[in-house]
């Protein structure tokens, strides 16, 4: 309903500041004419506002609408008041249909848009006339519409609005401006609805901008009337897509395209209303972009390892759709990173094609390299590692060739990792030998020095031999020049260590034989040196018997030394 064309004061044919007595008298007049089948005309009919229906029903409806004070003020904002000489002249022009002269009269007396007690009626009347010109007779004038809304806002928000209300109601009353303001806004929105998005009509952005002089709450309320629907739709579509992506990640690319298609127009509308710098637009744009990006990520993850389909191009396309929305902050940074990664993935397609067929072999070797770092450092673990990797390396070599850079890099990594463990094992064994050499003790029962390092030397010898064996196997594997140089250096050191241990073992066997002989001879010497003293101490009766016994013992000892020497020579090659 057009609040100007069907304004209760217009139907009653009176200015909005008419007294209650004038209202009742006018109603009675209209009814009397109606009883004889006639329609009474009045000066305030203003035919340029459009056709007027004035029957008993309409009159009764109009009267009931302005029974309460707040309603009288509400409808007065969309009608005229006669509050002085200037108003009388301008209203007289309107009665005669001289609209331009009425406008000129009010404009000439409006020196400033600041509302005062002298001009509040001029501001109200001029803005009402401008609103009528802008919306009546099935036409729309944006300029008059905008000026009218601006003036009405200044009037309602001014301190002088109390004067306006008192003039309309006839007495001072307490006014809830928030309710008056909201009622005015709702009425304007209803009035302009028939002109929205029509040819030569009103654009939503222009309607919202018409309230630019109003408080933030009012402007948000106005924009919310148009943005709440699209905003809710976008949020609902995002939630639906999130669920679809969770249920069916393989089709995440299609989910993302459908989401953008469904909300594109609504997003454009919100950007048009709010602007891309508005926090409300940035929040919904970021939320939408995040969901589309996540669709691309999930889609890529589903097909990344596929041998039949490369998801790079589609994932990049979807990610760029998200970027085109214009997200900000962390969302934009995340999008930029993913675009870069996807582009790199696409650029590496040829390399992936080259490695097709040996991908699992490469992954196997990589996994073994990682596992070796966690395993205990033992020769058996190194051996198992090298033997397990060798067939995979052979497959990679057959596919890429022996001189291929990637193959050499992988093979060298295997050799280098195994070599590192072997070096660590051998070094620790040598340190163990050095520590045990400090623990040597004299064993008086055997006339010998107990040497714990002999056991550790044997263990070191075994370890070195095992390490040398696996290194001989590794020597047949391909390596880069630097790794080959390091390998040979360590192999040479290991070989030298093995030789030194072998010589030490031979020396140990000879020294053991000499110690046995030395012990026996020592006993003989002790007996010989002690003999003169024993003769003096031992009685002659016993001496002959003792001499014979000593000679017998001496013969036995000499035979024992000969036997030891014989067996030492015979078994000289056994440890």
* DSSP string over 154-218: HHHHSTTHHHHHHHHHSS-----HHHHHHHHHHHHHHHHGGGBTSTTSB-HHHHHHTTTTS-HHH
DSSP 8-state assignment for residue 82: -
Phi, psi (5° rounding) for residue 449? Answer: -95, 125
- Each residue of 53-63: b (16+ CB within 10 Å) or e? ebeeebbeebb
- Each residue of 291-300: b (16+ CB within 10 Å) or e? bbbbbbbbbb
The phi-psi region of residue 85 (left if phi > 0; otherwise alpha if psi is between -120 and 50; otherwise beta) is alpha
What pLDDT is attached to residue 498? 82
Contact 276, 318 (CB under 8 A): no
Helices assigned H by DSSP within 84-174: 85-95, 99-108, 120-135, 142-157, 161-169
Question: What pTM was computed for the model?
Answer: 0.63
- Cα gap 136→163, rounded to integer Å: 29
Contact 105, 95 (CB under 8 A): no
DSSP 8-state assignment for residue 443: E
For the purposes of burial, counting CB atoms within 10 Å of the CB of 133, is it exposed (0-12), middle (13-18) or buried (19 or more)? buried
Residue in the block written with tokens 């759709």: 321
- Cα gap 398→312, rounded to integer Å: 28
What pLDDT is attached to residue 556? 66
Q: Which residues of the chain have pLDDT under 50?
A: 440-450, 510-514, 516-520, 522, 525, 527, 534, 568-575
What pLDDT is attached to residue 429? 83
Kindly state the tokens that stand for 315: 């994932």
What pLDDT is attached to residue 434? 77
The CB density around residue 50, as the number of other CB atoms within 10 Å, is 16
- Cα gap 90→98, rounded to integer Å: 9
What pLDDT is attached to residue 446? 42
DSSP 8-state assignment for residue 278: S
Cα(first)–Cα(last) distance of the chain, in Å?
Answer: 118
DSSP 8-state assignment for residue 267: H
What pLDDT is attached to residue 155? 94
Contact 256, 296 (CB under 8 A): yes
What stretch of H or E contains 39?
Answer: none
The CB density around residue 544, as the number of other CB atoms within 10 Å, is 11
Residue in the block written with tokens 């450092």: 377
What pLDDT is attached to residue 353? 80
Q: Is the dihedral of CA 467, 472, 474, 479 positive or negative?
A: positive
Q: How many residues does the chain have?
A: 575
Contact 319, 260 (CB under 8 A): no
- Could you tell me which of 290, 229, 292, 220 has the C-alpha nearest to residue 265? 229
């Amino acid at each position: 309903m057009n609040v100007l064309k069907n304004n209760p004061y217009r139907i009653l044919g009176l200015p909005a500041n008419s007294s209650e007595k004038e209202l009742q008298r006018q109603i009675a007049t209209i009814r009397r004419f109606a009883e004889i089948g006639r329609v009474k005309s009045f000066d305030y009919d203003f035919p340029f506002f459009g056709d007027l229906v004035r029957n008993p029903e309409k009159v009764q409806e109009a009267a009931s609408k302005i029974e309460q004070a707040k309603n009288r003020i509400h409808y007065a904002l969309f009608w005229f008041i006669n509050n002085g000489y200037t108003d009388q002249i301008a209203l007289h022009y309107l009665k005669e249909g001289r609209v331009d002269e009425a406008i000129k009269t009010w404009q000439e007396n409006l020196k400033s848009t600041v509302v005062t007690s002298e001009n509040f009626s001029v501001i109200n009347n001029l803005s009402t006339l401008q609103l009528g010109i802008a919306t009546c007779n099935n036409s729309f004038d944006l300029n008059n519409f905008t000026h009218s809304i601006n003036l009405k806002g200044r009037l309602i928000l001014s301190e002088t609005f109390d004067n306006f209300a008192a003039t309309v109601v006839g007495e001072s009353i307490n006014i809830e401006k928030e309710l008056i303001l909201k009622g005015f806004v709702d009425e304007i929105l209803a009035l302009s609805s028939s002109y929205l998005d029509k040819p030569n009509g009103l654009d939503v952005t222009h309607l919202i901008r018409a309230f630019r002089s109003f408080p933030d709450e009012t402007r948000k309320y106005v924009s919310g009337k148009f943005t709440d629907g699209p905003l809710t739709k976008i949020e609902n579509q995002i939630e639906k897509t999130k669920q679809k992506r969770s249920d069916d990640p393989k089709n995440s690319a299609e989910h993302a395209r459908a989401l953008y298609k469904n909300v594109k127009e609504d997003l454009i509308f919100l950007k048009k209303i709010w602007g891309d710098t508005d926090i409300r637009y940035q929040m919904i744009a970021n939320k939408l972009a995040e969901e589309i990006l996540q669709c691309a990520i999930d889609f890529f993850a589903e097909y990344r390892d596929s041998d039949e389909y490369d998801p790079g191009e589609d994932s990049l396309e979807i990610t760029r759709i998200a970027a085109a929305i214009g997200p900000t902050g962390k969302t934009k940074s995340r999008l930029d990173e993913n675009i870069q990664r996807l582009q790199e993935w696409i650029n590496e397609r040829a390399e992936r094609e080259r490695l097709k067929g040996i991908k699992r072999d490469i992954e196997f070797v990589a996994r073994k390299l990682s596992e070796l770092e966690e395993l205990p450092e033992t020769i058996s673990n190194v051996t198992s590692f090298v033997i397990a990797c060798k067939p995979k390396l052979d497959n990679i070599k057959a596919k890429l060739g022996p001189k291929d850079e990637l193959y050499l890099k992988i093979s060298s990594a295997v050799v280098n990792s195994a070599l590192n463990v072997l070096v660590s094992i051998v070094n620790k064994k040598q340190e163990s030998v050095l520590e045990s050499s400090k623990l040597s003790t004299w064993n008086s029962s055997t006339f010998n020095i107990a040497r714990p390092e002999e056991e550790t030397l044997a263990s070191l010898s075994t370890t070195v031999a095992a390490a040398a064996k696996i290194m001989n196997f590794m020597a047949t594997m391909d390596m880069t020049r630097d790794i080959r140089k390091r390998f040979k250096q360590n192999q040479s050191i290991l070989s030298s260590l093995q030789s030194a241990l072998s010589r030490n073992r031979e020396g140990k066997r000879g020294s053991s034989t000499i110690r046995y002989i030395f012990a026996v001879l020592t006993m003989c010497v002790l007996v010989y040196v002690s003999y003169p003293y024993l003769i003096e101490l031992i009685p002659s009766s016993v001496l002959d018997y003792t001499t014979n016994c000593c000679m017998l013992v001496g013969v036995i000892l000499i035979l024992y030394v000969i036997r030891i020497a014989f067996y030492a020579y015979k078994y000289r090659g056994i440890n």
